[in-house]
Each structure stands twice: as C-alpha cells, then as structure tokens.
Structure 1
Amino acid sequence: MNARTDPKTREARASSVDVHALLREILLDKKASIIAAGQQVSLELNARRPHVKGERDTLREFLDHGLDTLLTGAAQGTRLVVGTVTIDHRVKLRMVCGERSFETELSTFINTDPPAPSPLVVAPSAPVLAGTRTVLVVDDDIDTVALLRRVLERRGYEVLGATSLAEALMVAGTQSFDVLISDVGLPDGSGVELMDRLGRPHHAIALTGVSSEEDIARIRAAGFRQHLTKPVSLTTLESAISELLKSA
C-alpha cells in the first residue's frame, strides 16, 4: 500500500477545502479553452457552508474530470451551469452542459466549519487592520475577481467574489461584508441595481469604464461612496478602501 492510498496518510493530509473557491480556480484555468469553444459559464453557488474536509488535490482532480467530461464535444454556444446547495450539512454539486449533467453529493468529504484564519503576511506598505475586514468584489470578468482576491488577501482582507448580480445577492444573503467593490456593468443587471437590492451599503466603491459627469452623478445617487475608472491602480483601490473603513 503506497502513501497515496494509505488511509492514515490520507487522513493526515486532509484539510478544509473551500469548494466554491476551488471551482472558480478550476474555471479560471479553463477560461481560454471555454472561450475558444464558444461556450459560456453560469455560476449558481448557493451552498451556505461550502467548506469540506478532504484532500484538496484529490477533490480538484475529481472536479476537473467532471468538468472535462461535460465540456468535451459540447456544441458551440452551449452554457455550462455549475451549482451548489447545502443538504443535510453536505455540499451537493450539480453541473449541466446542454443535455449532459453531472450531479453528486460530496459525501466522501466531511462538511466542516471554515478553518481558523492563518497568520497574515502583510506587505510593509499595506494598512495594518485591527481586525480582518471582508470585501465583496463583484465583476463579470473572473480574471479581475481572481486578481483582486489575491492582492487584497495579501493585504490582510478576507475577500468574497461574485461574477453576476444574482451571485452577488446570493453571497450577500449568506455572508456579511464590510466593503462592496462592484463593476457598474454586470451580465444580468447593474451595480446600481445591486446597491438598491442590498439596501445601499454604506461602504461601496464603483468600478466603471466610463467617467462622464452624468454617469458619476448616477453612481453617486445610487449610494456609492467612491467611483474609480478602469483601469484602476491597485494602490488607488487600496487607498479608497482604507478611507472608507476609517470613516466607519
């Protein structure tokens, strides 16, 4: 029996894995091939507690295989829908692509609470926060969400991500956040509509590709405290977040 199949070794390697973060990571890696095939992706990640206990590499291999099976040979323009729900404290996964579907309950991975935060490595120039603050990033470009997640997490923030109005409302309905950063243009609505649906959170930053006085006035009227025009420097974004939190 080798180390890979030894139950004791597998148990020792087991850790808490965020299924939602892992799915986004896998889809980001496959983005180029999905675009080349003319396919589209919709995320309906509704599991209230998406963390499961298990081997991350094993779970990734399992999810990778399921996605490849669905996408291989799929017709151009086919939409891939990836969804999760919580049933009896377990994460249920369902992926549909055209007439093909892949559905499973992650019963081999024991559902658990998210792990305790690990010590944060903060760059010397980054703000040192008294407590971890949570930022919700909403942008239809999954690359932008992934980039901001990496940068802000290195600065000591906890980051939640969403790529549509519907997903942002789902995330906001299950998890609290301190700052909202949202693109104004979303595939199923707008950042202005998101602000209305969320009750106009006090700490909100709008990202947009336009900067006319009329657009800025509309964004401000929606409740956004800051407006940044793309492409925005990360230094400017960090300063905007810090300024909002200081006014809390």
Structure 2
Amino acid sequence: EARVIDTGIGIEQETIDKIFNVFEQGQADITRRFGGLGLGLAISKALIDAHGGKIQVQSAGKDQGAIFSVELNTVLTPIGQDGEGQDQQIDREAKPAVPKHRRVLLVDDHHDTCIGMKRMLERHGYEITLAHSAEQAVEKVHSQDFDLLISDIGLPDRSGYELMREVRLKKDLPGIALSGFGSEQDISQAREAGFSEHLTKPINFERLEKTIQALLS
C-alpha cells in the first residue's frame, strides 16, 4: 500500500464519493482557482483498476487536507533460462492487432478531454480515433471503418444530433451521446437523432465502459 497525505484544500463530504468521476472536481471554484479538467483522478483510478488494485480517499472536509491510498498486488517476476524476466520476454513479442468491434470514433472539441478519454479507453483495448468537429468526424466516417461513435452534443460547427443523423444516412453505426444535460427531453432527442445511449457529464468511466461493452457485444 502507498499513501499520499496533503494538508491542502480538502474534500467536502458531499463530493467525496464523486471525486474519481471523469470531469469531476471537488469544489465548484477549483477550476477557476487552479485550472484543470477533473481528469487526473479518473485516469489514476482507471490505471489502478486495470492492474487489479484499489484507490481510496479520506478527508475530514474543506481545508482539512486529504489522504489518498493505493493498494496493488505485487508478484515476483519469473526469470527465464536466459536470465530475462517474463515481462521483458512479452514486451519483445509483437503486439496483437486490435480486434474487430473495438474501433471507436471519439468526437469532442475540447482537445485535453479527448486525449484524457482516449488514453483511458486505449488502456481497455479500444482503438480510438479523434475528431474535434462534426465535419472532421464525417470525413473520418467516410474514409475509415468504425464500430462505435462517441460524441459530445455541443460541437463548434453543428450539434452532435446533426452529426449522428448525417452519419446514420451512410452507415448503421451505434452511438453514445455525451452531454451536460440529462433531462428526459435531452435523452429523447438523442435517441431520435440515432444515438443508442445518452450519458450525462461528469462521465462515470465505469458506466461508460459498461455501455460500450453492451453496444459492441
């Protein structure tokens, strides 16, 4: 187990359960004061989960600091006859191609958000292609094969709804809509446009992963 202890701004109890969600930050004014996107802890959790570990946080509240603890199982690396560790032998072998049904087009005009989500999804074995506008996304759909479209609704050139309608005219591609709004009307509008699912920001990565698996299975 490893622990990181700080005496900083702390975490309020009503937000501590959401602190590992994508785009989540402990307090509303944190972005204004310190910047950031709320991706760091989500990425950390995804990496630790991928290794079968666990990350937890404790805080007595605002201005009371925080304690982050990470638990990871450790094993001795078997040594081959040539003295090379097993993990080194694996690294020397050619990596297999990404299997079918895992090719994802991710559309969001916020570059840092795209990069953060791309890294997390690639850790789970998906092949991710990025687009930062509806026009870029349409061009990529016409020139490449994808199994899933994940798109933010608020794009700079036109809405994610319009993008999905245009894509569905050419290809029967399932899609996940990402939006800061989650009313019944928003969900209905997403489905009418052709999206299979609608997820509300801040995105819970575990829920996103389960949604992707359900659509691609």
TM-score (norm 2): 0.53
- Identify the match of residue 142 of structure 1 among 108, 111, 129: 111
> Aligned residue for 2:198?
227
SS at match of 2:163: helix
Task: Indicate the structure whose relative CO is greater, using CA pairs within 8 Å and at least 6 residues apart.
Answer: 2
Task: Give 3-state SS (helix, strand or coil) of 1:136's partner.
Answer: strand
- CA 1:223/1:123 → structure 2, altered by over 3 Å: closer, same or farther? farther
Q: Cα deviation per residue 1:57-109 (whole Å; 9 max; x = unaligned)?
A: xxxxxxxxxxxxxxxxxxxxxxxxxxxxxxxxxxxxxxxxxxxxxxxxxxxxx
Deviation at 1:241, TM superposition (A): 0.2
Query: Is 2:139 the partner of 1:166?
Result: no
Kindly state the Cα deviation for residue 207 of structure 1 after the two structures are TM-superposed.
0.2
Distance, in Å, in 2 between the alignment partners of 1:131 and 1:225 is 19
List alignment gaps of at least 5 residues for structure 1: 1-121
TM superposition shift of 1:164: 0.5
1:12-45 deviations in whole A, cap 9, x for unaligned? xxxxxxxxxxxxxxxxxxxxxxxxxxxxxxxxxx
Partner-residue secondary structure (3-state), 2:164 = helix
1:228 to partner: Cα distance: 0.3
Letter in 1 for 2:161: V
- Asked if the contact 1:138–1:145 (Cα under 8 Å) also holds between the matched residues in 2, the reply is yes
Query: Do the aligned residues in 1 keep the contact of 2:101 with 2:216 (CA within 8 Å)?
Result: no
Does the CA-based 8 Å contact 1:132-1:156 persist in structure 2?
A: no
Offset at residue 123 of structure 1 (A)? 4.9
CA drift of 1:223 comes to 1.1
Q: Deviations over 1:147-179 (max 9, x none)?
A: 111111111110000111111111111111101
Q: In the alignment, which of 121, 124, 147 is matched to residue 178 of structure 1? A: 147
CA shift, 1:218, in A, is 0.8
- 2:101/2:147 contact within 8 Å kept: no
**What letter is aligned with 2:199?**
L
Aligned to 1:50: none
Please state how far the C-alpha of 1:124 moved relative to its aligned partner.
5.4
Taking the aligned partners of 2:165 and 2:100, their CA distance within structure 1 comes to 28
Aligned CA RMSD, in angstroms, stands at 2.0
1:41-80 to structure 2, matched below 5 A, reads none
Alignment CA distance shift 1:187-1:242 (3 Å) = same
- Equivalenced residue count is 122
TM-score (norm 1): 0.46
Instruction: State the alpha-carbon separation in 1 of the partners of residues 204 and 51 from structure 2.
Output: 17
Q: Secondary structure at the match of 1:224?
A: coil
The one-letter code matched in structure 2 to 1:137 is: L
Secondary structure of the residue aligned to 1:181 is: strand
Match 2:161 to one of 183, 192, 209: 192
| Offset, 1:202 | 3.8
- For structure 2, which runs of at least 5 residues remain unmatched after alignment? 1-49, 54-97
